């Protein structure tokens, strides 16, 4: 083997040189200078402001209250000092999320919740539940609490929602057969899509 190495010394030296050059080339190709890391603070997020809710009926202090955006009906009643003696909170959904401009009415025991068509205009025709109705999730019974919406139209709203998907805006409810501008004017302040 020594004789072979002596005869091919130039060849072996060339091969070793080629391997060293290839290794250095590969290292130089893959090596990148270390970049400094720059840490930036996150951009501020928009925090929703308080919502305003009118609480009336059998509460200690009926008034308009500013509440957190994730507040529920129970929070609004507590802000109004709680229910008075004789209040019947079993008729309202205490877990219902609130929305800006909502009216929460707390009845007294024995009082029946007025139907939307019987309610005073000063209460903005709020449905019997005292809540705004989400037309994308409301049941047939909830839709029927809206003025001018009976069983047939409520059924068509649900059929439309199931076949066409969720309503994108409250105005799109007018695409349902039987709901025109007059009916929409009666319910526009009582419905939402979110």
- Model pLDDT, residue 118: 37
Distances in whole angstroms, Cα of residue 139 to Cα of each of 105, 121, 133: 21, 25, 10
pTM of the model: 0.41
Q: Would you state the pLDDT for residue 119? A: 38
Q: What is residue 75's predicted lDDT score, i.e. its pLDDT?
A: 96
With respect to residue 2, please indicate whether it lies within any of the assigned structural domains.
no
Chunked in runs of 10, what are the mean pLDDT values of the chain (194 residues)?
A: 74 86 78 77 78 90 91 95 92 88 88 50 43 86 84 91 91 92 87 86
pLDDT of 80 reads: 95
pLDDT of residue 130: 53
Residue 172 belongs to what domain range?
132-194
Task: Supply the pLDDT for residue 82.
Answer: 95
Same domain, 171 and 139: yes
Other C-beta atoms closer than 10 Å to the C-beta of 101 total 13
Domain count, the chain: 2
CATH number for 55: 3.10.20.600
Q: With CA atoms as reference, report the closest residue to 93 among 79, 110, 75.
A: 75
């Amino acid at each position: 083997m020594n004789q072979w190495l002596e005869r091919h010394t130039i060849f072996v030296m060339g091969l070793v040189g080629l391997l060293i050059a290839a290794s250095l080339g590969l290292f130089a190709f893959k090596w990148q200078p270390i970049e400094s890391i720059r840490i930036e603070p996150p951009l501020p997020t928009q925090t929703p402001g308080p919502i305003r809710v009118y609480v009336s009926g059998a509460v200690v202090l009926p008034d308009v209250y500013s509440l957190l955006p994730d507040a529920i009906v129970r929070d609004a009643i507590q802000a109004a000092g709680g229910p008075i003696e004789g209040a019947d909170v079993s008729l309202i959904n205490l877990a219902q999320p609130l929305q800006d401009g909502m009216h929460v009415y707390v009845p007294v025991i024995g009082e029946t919740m007025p139907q939307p068509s019987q309610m005073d205009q000063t209460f903005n025709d709020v449905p019997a539940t005292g809540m705004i109705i989400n037309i994308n999730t409301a049941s047939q019974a909830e839709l029927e609490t809206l003025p001018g919406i009976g069983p047939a139209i409520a059924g068509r709203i649900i059929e439309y929602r199931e076949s066409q998907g969720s309503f994108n805006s409250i105005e799109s409810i007018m695409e349902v057969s039987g709901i025109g501008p007059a009916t929409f004017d009666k319910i526009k302040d009582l419905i939402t899509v979110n």
